[in-house]
Amino acid sequence: MTWNEFWDTIVNFLATSGLQVLYGILVLIAGLILIKLLMKLINRILLRTKLERITQGFIKSIVKVLLYAVLIFAVLQMFGIPMTGLVTVLATAGAAIALSLKDSLSHVASGMILISNKPFHQGDYIQVDNLEGTVKSIKIMNTEIVTTDNKTVILPNSTILNSNLINYSREGIRRFEMTFEVAFETDLNLAKKVLLDVCRSNGKIYLTPEPEVHLKELTDSGLQLFLTFWSKGPYWEIYFYIMEHAYNEFKRNKISLSYGQLEVHMRTDNAVLPYDSEPLPERIEQQPEENAMEENFIDKIFDAKTYNTKNIKSRKKKKLEKKQQKIEQQLLALQEKETKNETNVAETTTTSPVEITTSNETKDAINNNQTETKNTKTEENK
């Protein structure tokens, strides 16, 4: 493309849409001026409220971003750029950015929750898990904490929100707890008086509620005293003050601190120790548990079989006894018949066929009874 062709395209564009470009530039300038005026007005309104500076800055940044976005969309529409395609592209790009910056967005959401709920303020002394320090600033993404050794730690807001948080400055005053251990021969009332005098000597320690000292525990090496008092702090300044002056006052009042000690007693007598004169018992081998279990199982099976066989034998025996009773009854009836027949022998010289059959029947019954009793005896012996 030559220079003349390029110039012709510019002239044609200005001739067709020059007014739109001019209106767009005017709208851009007027929008920038209007945004500055609105931000000044919002700043004055926020200063009259009781919101914290961190919350005010967060609100102003969000309003500012929204106003600039509206201005850009208005100017692009004045230039004749179609907004539907642009909105679609921005929505797709926003989804992709949201997926790639999900951790950062979680920090932002946590920052909004922290600012709205206000679990701590700027200047509070807090503890997040094992980290302690003073809050320096609260931002949308993170929070800055200054530790006691003057280190600045930047914590993500999501980490603070998902951790155990302790705010030592929220209630204004806090209770200090300290322990001291003195020797057993120490005068307990004198040691308590010394610690209370040390607490009353510091103007940063409250007298109401009063400091208290109690005997907490009798340890292996001495008496453990438990001191409690109330103060606003700073914590470490008061802690070191009490430790140094308590040590000095203990020495002044000749109170010795406890130390690890062990008493040793020497025996001079000839001690006779009693003992049992019987020798050790003989060793008895113990079977493994698996073999014992198997033997118990086999014994149970054998007992069950023997029980079943006994039941079977008793049943057969009862049946045989019943049969024997029937045969005996039949024999008695046959004998009665024979006696009757013998009385009639004199009348008849020849034996009747009925007598022969009855005698044969009795013989067969007796033989059957004897064979059955023999079989039962052999079975019982088995």
Which three-class secondary structure state does DSSP give residue 81?
Answer: coil
Please report the pLDDT score of residue 358 as a whole number: 45
Please report the pLDDT score of residue 26 as a whole number: 83
CA 234 – CA 237 distance, rounded (Å): 6
**Stretch 92-114: mean pLDDT:** 72
Neighbours of 230 (CB within 10 A): 17
Give yes or no for residue 6 having a pLDDT over 70: no
Give yes or no for residue 150 having a pLDDT over 60: yes
Please tell me whether residues 163 and 190 are part of one structural domain: no
Give yes or no for residue 380 having a pLDDT over 80: no
Global pTM value: 0.46
Please tell me whether residues 144 and 181 are part of one structural domain: no
How many structural domains is the chain composed of? 4
Q: Out of 47-56, 260-269, 300-309, 313-322, which region has the weakest mean confidence (pLDDT)?
A: 300-309
Residue-averaged pLDDT of the chain: 78
Please tell me whether residues 24 and 46 are part of one structural domain: yes
Residue 293 falls within a domain, yes or no?
A: no
User: What's the CATH number where 133 sits?
Assistant: 2.30.30.60
Residue 269 falls within a domain, yes or no?
A: no
User: What's the CATH number where 69 sits?
Assistant: 1.10.287
Out of 146, 167, 188, a domain closes at 167
Nearest to 54 by CA among 150, 120, 125: 120
Give the C-alpha distances (Å, rounded to integers) separating 331 from 368, 369, 372, 376. Answer: 12, 11, 16, 21
Q: Out of 25-34, 67-76, 355-364, which region has the weakest mean confidence (pLDDT)?
A: 355-364
Give yes or no for residue 42 having a pLDDT over 90: no
**Stretch 164-193: mean pLDDT:** 90
Residue 316 falls within a domain, yes or no?
A: no
Give yes or no for residue 367 having a pLDDT over 90: no
**Stretch 200-216: mean pLDDT:** 93
Please tell me whether residues 132 and 92 are part of one structural domain: no
Residue 286 falls within a domain, yes or no?
A: no
Name the residue range of residue 216's domain: 174-252
**Stretch 114-119: mean pLDDT:** 78
Give yes or no for residue 295 having a pLDDT over 70: no
Residue 78 falls within a domain, yes or no?
A: yes
pLDDT band at 370 (very low <50, low <70, confident <90, very high): low
Name the token pair of 7: 């110039």
Please report the pLDDT score of residue 83 as a whole number: 67
Residue 277 falls within a domain, yes or no?
A: no
Q: Out of 48-52, 127-131, 258-262, 310-314, which region has the weakest mean confidence (pLDDT)?
A: 310-314
